[in-house]
Chain A
Amino acid sequence: MAGVDAAAVKAMPRPAPWQALAWRLAPFFSIGLLLIAWEALARSGTFTPFVLPAFSSVVARIWSDAITGDLLINTGLTLYRAIVGFLISAIGGVAIGMAMSRSVGVRWFFDPIISVGFPMPKIAFLPVVILWLGLYDLSKISIIVFDAIFPVVTATIAGIKGVERELLWSARNMGARDREMLWQIVLPAALPMIMTGLQVALPLSMIVAVVAEMLMGGYGIGGAMMTASRFADSPGVFAGIVEIALVGLVLVKGMTMLRRRLLIWHQEANEPTTA
């Protein structure tokens, strides 16, 4: 090394190890800070316990619900409805999208319905669905499917449309038949888009599940929160928020992990995530 002494290179400013550690711990720091601020604000008496119950009392509430079993029933039911609705939307949406891509007749019929229906607030039809299907799971799951199927259909169509011509030609060239083309070429190539559609549909299923439960009452996190708020039981309401936030977080993270698994061949190192 002519001229540059190793000492000079060593002397170059570089981040100290404790700094790297600080960046790593920052997430826990800010979440911890939020919880402490919540607790402190609630205890300071600035707000009444009705407006802002202490974090500790909300945790206590979740704990007692866990012991009585209410927690399991409520989160379980909400999850069941959201996931069943989501799965029906996923399968049905991909099927409709595929049928639309392959058949002119199907496309003619569904295209205007999808393009007009996609941006509509389908939730407004909730009272209609109740009128038709009653107050039980059937109507809750139906409204979820009605809402969540649209993004899946549009994503499937866009994904199939975006498959490169050259890819199809070379597969044909190598002797792939129609059915093989669909399962081995078209669907895998469209998978990134389809996954994006599913990643929209899943949180939507949760949102609609909660609204449906709030409006129709009964068991489920949404229903429990409405009951709590009717009895001015604000720890119950906040407990519901914390529970549903955790459930949503787990589902969305799980979906992201599934995407990474399925699309390991797809170069998308920078999946849209925040941090």
Chain B
Amino acid sequence: MKSLIRYSPLLLLALAWEAASRLELVSSLALPPLTSVLAAWFDLLINGELVSNGWASLYRGGTGLLLSVIVGSTLGIFMAWWRPVNALVGPLVELFYPMPKSALIPVTVIWLGFGDGSKILLIFLGCMLPVTIGAFNGARSSDRTLVWSARSMGASRMRMLWDVVVPSALPELLSGVRTALALTFILLVSSELIVARQGLGYLIGYLGADGAYEAMFAVVLTVAFLGFAADRAYQLLMNRMLQWRE
């Protein structure tokens, strides 16, 4: 009940959408009624378009994000812990971090073509630096008395890196990954909209060009919902991993 009141504005928006379209306040071409959008969604689900394209997007996004988390966090922690690594890699990170990552779309296409490879590379390159910076800032802020405690209890330097520096970096590292997750969706959908033959972004563009606006809205809402759900699920995971805080 409480959540009903809380989320009632969304419900109102949905009703307004339906009414505006049904009463022809706006052209139903520009804004097809929500109910027809839902019907189109079921059609897409049944004819398999949603599942096959969704699967392609999931595979690209998941692989790219996973790679960026592995490489980015390793790089960030080593940068924080070994000064020469920082001196060499740090300036490059600082140079490339502010670059609008979407500019890499045509380059990854030149390198790897129109398929999965270029999307995975794009997401990997685009998402790596936020993770690297999160890991770096987290690892750099690890408390020296924790490091000393571990050393005086007999931990070797490598051991200490794993047992103290990595967990100390975790809160900032995980929030870097959250940024990367959001970027994954942005880069995935953009690159699929611009150059692809498969994927949810491609489906949106294809349906739009075809004039199938009900179906296009259905896929747009699906993507938006997936992004929202992924973020919520990630937050749950993050809170579990950081339950030792407070």
Q: Of A111, A122, A225, A275, which one neighbours B90 at CB under 8 angstroms?
A: A275
Interface residue A238 (Cβ < 8 Å from any Cβ of B): yes
Bound together, the chains give a CA A139 to CA B137 distance in angstroms of 37
Interface residue B189 (Cβ < 8 Å from any Cβ of A): yes
Contact of B182 with A121 in the complex, beta carbons under 8 Å: yes
Contact of A127 with B216 in the complex, beta carbons under 8 Å: yes
Find the B residue at minimum CB distance from A78: B100
Contact of A214 with B102 in the complex, beta carbons under 8 Å: yes
Interface residues of B in 68-89 (CB under 8 A from A): 79, 83, 86-89
Find the A residue at minimum CB distance from B12: A109
- Shortest CB-to-CB span from A259 to chain B, Å, is 14
Interface residue A161 (Cβ < 8 Å from any Cβ of B): no
- Shortest CB-to-CB span from A193 to chain B, Å, is 15
Interface size class of A (residues with CB under 8 A): 35 or more
Contact of B97 with A211 in the complex, beta carbons under 8 Å: no
Given the interface contacts A116-B228, A211-B190, does A128 sit within 8 Å of B98 by beta carbon? no
Interface residue B23 (Cβ < 8 Å from any Cβ of A): no
Bound together, the chains give a CA A26 to CA B89 distance in angstroms of 9
How many B residues, CB 8 Å from partner?
63
Name which of B13, B96, B205, B227 has the most chain A CB atoms within 10 A of its CB.
B227
Contact of B93 with A206 in the complex, beta carbons under 8 Å: no
Interface residue B223 (Cβ < 8 Å from any Cβ of A): yes
Q: Of B91, B107, B190, which one neighbours A30 at CB under 8 angstroms?
A: B91
Interface residue A64 (Cβ < 8 Å from any Cβ of B): no
Bound together, the chains give a CA A222 to CA B95 distance in angstroms of 20
Chain B residues near A130: list those with CB within 8 A. 208
Contact of A30 with B231 in the complex, beta carbons under 8 Å: no
Given the interface contacts A215-B194, A245-B96, A272-B137, does A27 sit within 8 Å of B90 by beta carbon? yes
Main secondary structure on B side of the interface with A: helix
Contact of A207 with B94 in the complex, beta carbons under 8 Å: no
Chain B residues near A34: list those with CB within 8 A. 92
Contact of B189 with A225 in the complex, beta carbons under 8 Å: no
Interface residue B20 (Cβ < 8 Å from any Cβ of A): no
Contact of B102 with A210 in the complex, beta carbons under 8 Å: yes
Interface residues of A in 237-275 (CB under 8 A from B): 237-238, 240-241, 244-245, 248-249, 251-253, 272-275
Name which of A31, A116, A127, A245 has the most chain B CB atoms within 10 A of its CB.
A127
Interface residue B204 (Cβ < 8 Å from any Cβ of A): yes
Name which of B8, B99, B205, B232 has the most chain A CB atoms within 10 A of its CB.
B99
Find the A residue at minimum CB distance from B225: A120
Contact of B193 with A127 in the complex, beta carbons under 8 Å: yes
Find the B residue at minimum CB distance from A237: B106
Interface residue A229 (Cβ < 8 Å from any Cβ of B): yes
Interface residue B201 (Cβ < 8 Å from any Cβ of A): yes
Find the A residue at minimum CB distance from B133: A274
Bound together, the chains give a CA A211 to CA B97 distance in angstroms of 17
Find the A residue at minimum CB distance from B129: A274
Contact with B along A206-225 (1 / 0, CB 8 A): 11111100110000011001
Contact of B103 with A225 in the complex, beta carbons under 8 Å: yes
Contact of B228 with A120 in the complex, beta carbons under 8 Å: yes
Interface residue A234 (Cβ < 8 Å from any Cβ of B): yes
Q: Of A27, A124, A222, which one neighbours B204 at CB under 8 angstroms?
A: A124
Name which of B7, B93, B111, B224 has the most chain A CB atoms within 10 A of its CB.
B224
Cβ contacts A to B, 5 pairs, < 8 Å: A30-B92, A123-B186, A127-B220, A273-B94, A274-B136
Which 6 pairs across A and B sit closest by C-beta, in order of nearness? A119-B231, A252-B98, A27-B91, A121-B185, A26-B87, A206-B100
A residues whose Cβ falls under 8 Å from a Cβ of B: 23, 26-31, 34, 50-51, 108-113, 116, 119-128, 130-132, 203, 206-211, 214-215, 221-222, 225-226, 228-229, 234, 237-238, 240-241, 244-245, 248-249, 251-253, 272-275
